[in-house]
Amino acid sequence: MHEEIQMAVETLQKGGLIVYPTDTVWGIGCDATNSEAVKKVYALKNREDSKALICLVSDIRMLQKHIFEIPEVAYDIIDLSTKPTTIIYDKPHGIAPNLIAEDNTLAIRVASDEFCQKLIRQFKRPIVSTSANISGEPTPKSFLEIAPEILKGVDYVVNLHRDKRCEKPSSIIKLSTNGEVKIIRK
């Protein structure tokens, strides 16, 4: 695992894209603070840049560095969730501007997977996490279902957990600083 993390971190530091096993599905990742890298993800997925992407952090401390005000209920959701849960927060900062939605929000998940946590900790910055597919195509449930153009379009493919099968992406909850809570995806 150490060698794979090292290769992925080196790729991310150079502004490159990776395909990697997340705590949900196989994902395309890049440095979430690098606008040029984020542009490459949108281009590879053939996705409009008005459709926001999810970002992964390693822990609560990293989350606190990038969100102006975290609603108290977010801590309970993170602690009590029995499955990976992405939360959409208001007023992110220190993130690539083209990753932030038009309404000044950002979807962030504290990674629960050991590989993702170690990767992000070693990289020391949040990383993008979007399903490894062309926009509009089905989300691959396993490594073998990832389209060849995705694998050819990235700079590094992590060679771990290739037998991992994923049935569902994360739940998504929007928490506004005004107290509003909205379930986006169960």
137 token code pair: 């195509």
Sign of the alpha-carbon dihedral angle for 100, 137, 131, 173: positive
Place of tokens 């501007």: 97
Domains of the chain: 2-160+167-185 (3.90.870.10)
Q: What is the CA radius of gyration of the chain?
A: 15
157, burial (CB in 10 Å: exposed 0-12, middle 13-18, buried 19+): buried
The rounded distance, in Å, linking the Cα atoms of 58 and 53 is 17
Q: What is the pTM of this model?
A: 0.94
The rounded distance, in Å, linking the Cα atoms of 85 and 93 is 21
The rounded distance, in Å, linking the Cα atoms of 168 and 95 is 26
pLDDT truncated to tens, each residue of the chain (186 aa)? 899 999 999 999 999 999 999 988 899 999 999 999 999 999 999 988 777 899 999 999 999 999 999 999 999 999 999 899 999 999 999 999 999 999 999 999 999 989 999 999 999 999 999 999 999 999 988 999 999 999 999 999 999 888 877 767 889 999 988 888 899 988
Q: Are 24 and 168 in contact (CB under 8 A)?
A: yes
Place of tokens 């506004």: 176
pLDDT at res. 38: 97
pLDDT at res. 186: 85
| Residue 60, phi then psi, degrees to nearest 5 | -60, -40
Question: Which residues, listed in sequence order, are joined to residue 58 by a DSSP beta bridge?
Answer: none
Distance (Å) of CA 47 to CA 12, 19, 137: 21, 17, 11
pLDDT at res. 123: 98
